[in-house]
């Protein structure tokens, strides 16, 4: 399905049974599509788009040992470098209090969702995607991380992702950022005394955790293309940089 104009796609490869969840925004940052499926299904849709920015919630490759070398240069002994098997971007975010999954240096030690992420980047590279920023390239690709993105957008640790309150919070954060999605406050408007007693909640108003993560990535792709002053790169270009929706990180989150 070819969509007119530039589209902005966020991909989350961590969902499990249908591992790829993807969200598509249009040129006005309105939601066009939410989908899920196998890699081939996601790729079929992405490759049908001629002018597109894609943000992936996952690393491009294993770490290259940059953090380990950095700590060795500081004179730390092997026993003091526990937890050094991660990428520079992940190390820098942890220093800010944003703890995200470390990417091991050995591919075989990486969890399945990271392996899927590596494969996705490879496939997108093969069909002509260029790393963001690439001037005038119609298809550009970048990396982000949903937990880190929500941390910087709300300037603190968000509520637990699987919980109802965590989902409501994330959806409201995106809605307040002018992403054209359902207003989560309608959830409360539709709760009556009867519904509350019967345990009937309007869950159809709220997106799933994976959909919210994909929406966050799509929003970051939109910002990267349209308002690059509102994003920041974290990490090493050699190893893989994470793009986040802020111009400056706080000292701690």
CATH value at residue 206? 3.30.420
Q: For position 230, what pLDDT does the model report?
A: 97
Please, what is the end-to-end C-alpha distance for the chain in angstroms? 40
Q: For position 86, what pLDDT does the model report?
A: 96
Q: For position 50, what pLDDT does the model report?
A: 87
What DSSP state is assigned to residue 180?
B
**Can you say how many angstroms the Cα of residue 224 is from the centroid of all Cα atoms in its chain?**
13
Is 118 domain-assigned?
A: yes
Q: Which residues of the chain have pLDDT under 50?
A: none
Give the number of other CB atoms < 10 A from CB of residue 124.
22
Is 70 domain-assigned?
A: no
Is 68 domain-assigned?
A: no
Give the orientation angle of helix 209-226 with respect to helix 146-154, to 10 degrees.
70
Alpha carbon dihedral 107, 113, 116, 120, in 10-degree steps, equals: -110
Phi, psi of 22 (to 5 degrees): -135, 145
User: By the 8 A CB rule, do 67 and 87 touch?
Assistant: yes
Is 144 domain-assigned?
A: yes
Q: For position 35, what pLDDT does the model report?
A: 92
Look up the domain containing 199 and give its range: 7-62+106-244
Helix ranges (DSSP H) in 127-249: 146-154, 164-176, 186-189, 193-198, 209-226
Domain count, the chain: 1
Is 18 domain-assigned?
A: yes
Is 129 domain-assigned?
A: yes
Is 234 domain-assigned?
A: yes
Q: Which residue has the tokens 């996601």?
A: 42
| Pairwise CA distance, residues 102 & 71, whole Å | 16
Q: For position 79, what pLDDT does the model report?
A: 59
């Amino acid at each position: 399905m070819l969509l007119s104009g530039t589209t902005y796609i966020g991909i989350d490869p961590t969902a499990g049974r249908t591992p790829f969840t993807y969200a598509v925004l249009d040129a006005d940052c309105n939601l066009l599509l939410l989908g899920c499926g196998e890699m081939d299904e996601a790729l079929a849709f992405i490759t049908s788009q001629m002018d597109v920015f894609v943000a992936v919630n996952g690393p491009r490759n294993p770490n290259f040992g940059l953090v380990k070398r950095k700590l060795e240069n500081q004179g730390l002994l092997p026993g003091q470098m526990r937890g050094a098997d991660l990428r520079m971007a992940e190390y820098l975010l942890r220093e800010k209090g944003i703890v995200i999954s470390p990417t091991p240096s050995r591919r075989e030690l990486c969890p399945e969702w990271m392996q899927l992420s590596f494969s996705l980047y490879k496939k997108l590279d093969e069909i002509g995607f260029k790393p963001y920023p690439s001037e005038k390239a119609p298809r550009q690709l970048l990396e982000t991380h949903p937990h880190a993105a929500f941390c910087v957008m709300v300037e603190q640790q968000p509520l637990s992702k699987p919980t109802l309150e965590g989902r409501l919070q994330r959806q409201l954060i995106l809605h307040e950022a002018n992403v054209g999605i359902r207003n989560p406050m309608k959830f409360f408007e539709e709760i009556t005394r009867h519904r509350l007693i019967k345990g009937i909640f309007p869950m159809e108003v709220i997106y799933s955790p994976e959909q919210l993560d994909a929406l966050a990535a799509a929003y970051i792709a939109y910002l990267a293309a349209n308002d690059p002053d509102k994003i920041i790169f974290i990490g090493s270009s050699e190893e893989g940089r994470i793009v986040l929706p802020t111009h400056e990180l706080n000292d701690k989150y």
